[in-house]
Structure 1
Amino acid sequence: MDIIQIIVLALVQGVSEFLPISSSAHLVLVPEIFGWDDQGLAFDVAVHVGTLLAILFYFKDRISKLVGDFLSSIIKRKNVGESMLVWAVGFGTIPAGLFGLFAKDHIETYARSPLVIAATTIIFGIILYLADKRVGFKNEANITIKIALIIGVAQALALIPGVSRSGVTISMALLLGFSRITSANFSFLLSIPVIFLAGGLKTLDLIKSSNHIAWDEIGLGVLISGVSAYLCVKLFMSLISRMSMTPFVIYRLFLGAILIYFFI
């Protein structure tokens, strides 16, 4: 890949991974617009690592406290601080793991068409709009294992290209009466094990592959996707309490229309 392709694709992944706008839709559209070849598995791994490092760095203090509370709860055999939130993230990850394990091949075969991506981009954009109208005031203290599983089932749907992992989990949390800040926070925390697992699977595929690895491209991809993802999450969280999801909904509808124009 040339330097422009690396920069653009890493930026696209970094910015779109945590916004409710579907990174998969962008990664289909952008190469088509510029006439680029597929970026390859190694680069996919790189940008996933970058976004994972970004969210870990953003939540580093929170994660440290959560891990401490969780370990204390195990030792004391009772809830300590926010230990229940760790359990919620763990249980919330199960549906995506199971869905990915049993449906990954079918998704790769049947659900990666431009028509599917355009349809899911538009449909789940409308769902985000409707969910945002039901925004409530529940916070993280109200997240139970049952609620985490429900949001986790929604997250599993994001394995279908165009749905948007952050978009569908934020939508479900809003529909369940949580505030925008809490919905976004839990969505991002829930993304950590999922991105880790997805990146791990891609890494295993890469290890099995005999293709040459361009480590300079890998390093640049990690850096750009990580920095852009961190800045994007930071900006999004600073604005989310003061704005609705409508701008993202409008963007998704526009993006879906562009996909239809280019591919249908």
Structure 2
Amino acid sequence: MSLFYLLLVALIQGLTEFLPVSSSGHLILLPYFTGISDQGQAIDVAVHVGTLGAVIAYFWKDIKVGLLGTPRMLTGKIDTPGSKLAFLLLIATIPVIILGLFLSVSGLSDALRSIRVIGWTMLVFGLVLYWFDQKGPTHKTSDDWSMKDAVILGLWQAVALIPGTSRSGITITGARALGYSRADGAKIAMLMSIPTILASGILLGAEVAGDANWELMKYAGIGAIFAFVSALGALTLMMRLLRSASFTPYVIYRVILGAVLLIISYSA
């Protein structure tokens, strides 16, 4: 793998992980359009670690509260802001873990990695995001996050295992449908990404641990750093724009890309 291609993978992962445009879909499309072989799971793990670092850095104040409340949550006491946050993040992560294991064991995860699937999910879920972003009520903040909403958003998040859906996009869509503001819905979606990315990183890391070597580790380290920088920049920009803008620009991008992919798919 060339350094340029590695940086391209890291840049795409970083820019698209937290924007509602699907990082997995873009990473699947990259080898298809460049003709270069897939970057491999080790690099995937590395760039995911980089984006995980970015969201932790951006939301460190909230994450610190959750971490401090985790021991209390583990004893069954959900009576502080920290223990409540830790508990809700745990609840919201369960559906994606269950569905992810099912797709992996059944082999359906590989079957879904196609241009046609990504085209349809880009298009359809882009329009769903637009609908709820424009029509959804706005009467909740992140402080109103409840167990019921955590379960519902966890189910929305599980849908993102279909390539092209976008984990952040579908979770933000669910949050807007429940009545959260754009900024607060995005905040919840980003916090929900932490255990999800961590779980997928551990799973992939266990699969590639035996094949690790110093050359691969060097490339993985470079990829993680660039993914961290690009993800932090994209996340910071999106959260600032949400104070005065909607998700419409992302929807337009998704619809155009989805239409192009479907034309390519059905013309082949």
Q: Check if 1:13 corresponds to 2:21.
A: no
**Relative to 1, partners in 2 of residues 1:31 and 1:103: Cα closer, same or farther, differing over 3 Å?**
closer
Find the counterpart in structure 2 of residue 59 from structure 1. 59
Q: Is the contact between residue 73 and residue 86 of structure 2 (CA under 8 Å) also seen in structure 1?
A: no
Shift of 1:213: 5.0
Find the counterpart in structure 1 of residue 103 from structure 2. 103
Aligned 1:5-154 pairs, distance under 5 A:
5-71=5-71, 77=77, 79-104=79-104, 105-133=106-134, 134-154=136-156
Shift of 1:78: 5.2
Shift of 1:212: 7.8
Q: CA offsets, 1:25-51, max 9 Å, x none?
A: 211223322221111111111111111
Aligned 1:237-256 pairs, distance under 5 A:
237-256=239-258
* Distance in 2 (alpha carbons) for counterparts of 1:156 and 1:78: 25
Q: Is the contact between residue 42 and residue 213 of structure 1 (CA under 8 Å) also seen in structure 2?
A: no
**Relative to 1, partners in 2 of residues 1:39 and 1:70: Cα closer, same or farther, differing over 3 Å?**
closer
- Root-mean-square deviation over aligned CA pairs: 2.0
Query: Which residue identity does 1:180 align to in structure 2?
Result: R
Query: Which residue identity does 2:167 align to in structure 1?
Result: R
Please give the TM-score of this superposition, normalised by the length of structure 2: 0.92
Query: Which residue identity does 2:126 align to in structure 1?
Result: G
- Displaced runs of 4+ in structure 1, greater than 6 A? 73-76
Q: Is the contact between residue 122 and residue 257 of structure 2 (CA under 8 Å) also seen in structure 1?
A: yes
Q: CA offsets, 1:103-132, max 9 Å, x none?
A: 224332321111111111111001000110
Query: Which residue identity does 1:175 align to in structure 2?
Result: A
Q: More displaced, 198-207 or 29-38?
A: 29-38
**Relative to 1, partners in 2 of residues 1:211 and 1:122: Cα closer, same or farther, differing over 3 Å?**
farther
**Relative to 1, partners in 2 of residues 1:216 and 1:253: Cα closer, same or farther, differing over 3 Å?**
same
**Relative to 1, partners in 2 of residues 1:29 and 1:78: Cα closer, same or farther, differing over 3 Å?**
closer
Q: Is the contact between residue 20 and residue 248 of structure 1 (CA under 8 Å) also seen in structure 2?
A: yes
**Relative to 1, partners in 2 of residues 1:151 and 1:243: Cα closer, same or farther, differing over 3 Å?**
same
**Relative to 1, partners in 2 of residues 1:255 and 1:81: Cα closer, same or farther, differing over 3 Å?**
same
State the aligned residue count: 264
Query: Which residue identity does 1:142 align to in structure 2?
Result: D
Q: Secondary structure at the match of 2:243?
A: coil
2:182 aligned to which of 180, 183, 193 = 180
Find the counterpart in structure 1 of residue 167 from structure 2. 165
* Distance in 2 (alpha carbons) for counterparts of 1:28 and 1:193: 23
**Relative to 1, partners in 2 of residues 1:109 and 1:34: Cα closer, same or farther, differing over 3 Å?**
closer
* Distance in 2 (alpha carbons) for counterparts of 1:63 and 1:159: 24
Q: More displaced, 18-27 or 134-143?
A: 134-143
Q: Is the contact between residue 67 and residue 82 of structure 2 (CA under 8 Å) also seen in structure 1?
A: no
* Distance in 2 (alpha carbons) for counterparts of 1:28 and 1:153: 23
**Relative to 1, partners in 2 of residues 1:209 and 1:177: Cα closer, same or farther, differing over 3 Å?**
same
Aligned 1:203-218 pairs, distance under 5 A:
203-209=205-211, 214-218=216-220
Query: Which residue identity does 2:80 align to in structure 1?
Result: V
Q: Is the contact between residue 121 and residue 255 of structure 1 (CA under 8 Å) also seen in structure 2?
A: yes
Find the counterpart in structure 1 of residue 259 from structure 2. 257
Q: CA offsets, 1:147-171, max 9 Å, x none?
A: 1000000101111101100000000
Shift of 1:211: 7.7
Q: CA offsets, 1:169-205, max 9 Å, x none?
A: 0000100111111100000000000000101111011
Find the counterpart in structure 2 of residue 190 from structure 1. 192
Unaligned runs of 5+ in 2: none
